[in-house]
């Protein structure tokens, strides 16, 4: 399926805004989250930490932004910074997410180079695969929402109220809206 330039720009803007919506929800949660909860360990092995999930999300967006900042650079999700301050300081996490949000909107809203090469490592063997910025933005939206669902569950376990749409994929929200419309129409 081939899209005209303006149709592709509109589609990319929608994908960017899907990422922006998720990041915005996460920033809002972080602004209301007690700092100690951001660093609190959950689970029997104490390995689940909200801050680690936030840092992981940031690392993935940073990888895409780094790869798209220099022509010919490889996207590499495995070789991440894992900056400790982003998983221990909620304000640092929220600030970095705000920066990422601004960069996504400025770099990818409208016309941009779409072709991208990604380094994928399997069994210690690296291979370069072809992908696209658009495809990676779709991946990052789903990846972010997946981690937000875990963050939301951890926050709720600690007694924090989380909005009903937090960590819910847009496709699920659209499905629920269609179900609600169908039920109201049949009533």
pLDDT in tens, 90-110: 999 999 999 999 999 999 977
Residue 3 has pLDDT above 70, yes or no: no
pLDDT attached to residue 11:
61
Given pLDDT bands bounded at 50, 70 and 90, which one contains residue 119? very high
Q: What are the structure tokens assigned to 181, written together? A: 């419309």
Contacts of 61 (CB under 8 A, 6+ apart): 23, 100, 104, 140, 144
Residue 6 has pLDDT above 70, yes or no: no
Q: What is the H or E stretch that residue 78 is in? A: none
pTM of the model: 0.89
Please provide the CATH number assigned to the domain covering 5-186: 1.20.120
**C-alpha pair distances (Å), 14 with each of 5, 141, 165:** 14, 11, 18
Report the 10 Å Cβ neighbour count for 99: 14
pLDDT, tens digit (0-9, with 9 covering 90-100), for 128-173 = 999 999 999 999 999 999 999 999 999 999 999 999 999 999 888 8
Report the 10 Å Cβ neighbour count for 110: 14
- In percent, how much of the chain has pLDDT > 70? 93
Sketch the domain layout of the chain as residue ranges: 5-186
β-pair type (41-42, 115-122): unpaired
Residue 74 has pLDDT above 90, yes or no: yes
Based on its alpha-carbon atoms, the radius of gyration of the chain, rounded to whole angstroms, reads: 18
Least-confidence region, from 33-42, 141-150, 170-179:
170-179
Given pLDDT bands bounded at 50, 70 and 90, which one contains residue 187? low
Mean pLDDT of the chain: 90
């Amino acid at each position: 399926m081939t899209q005209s330039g303006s149709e592709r720009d509109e589609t990319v803007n929608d994908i960017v805004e899907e990422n922006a919506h998720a990041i915005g929800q996460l920033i809002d949660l972080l602004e209301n989250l007690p700092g100690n909860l951001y660093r609190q360990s959950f689970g029997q092995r104490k390995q689940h930490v909200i801050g680690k999930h936030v840092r992981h999300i940031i690392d993935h967006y940073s990888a895409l932004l780094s790869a798209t900042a220099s022509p010919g650079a490889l996207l590499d999700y495995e070789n991440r910074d894992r900056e400790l301050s982003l998983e221990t300081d909620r304000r640092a996490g929220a600030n970095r997410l705000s920066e990422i949000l601004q960069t996504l909107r400025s770099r990818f809203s409208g016309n941009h180079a779409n072709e991208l090469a990604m380094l994928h490592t399997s069994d210690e063997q690296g291979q370069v695969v072809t992908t696209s910025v658009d495809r990676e933005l779709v991946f990052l939206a789903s990846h972010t929402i997946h981690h937000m669902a875990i963050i939301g569950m951890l926050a709720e376990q600690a007694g924090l109220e989380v909005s009903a749409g937090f960590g819910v994929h847009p496709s699920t929200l659209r499905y629920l809206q269609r179900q609600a419309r169908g039920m109201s129409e049949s009533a």
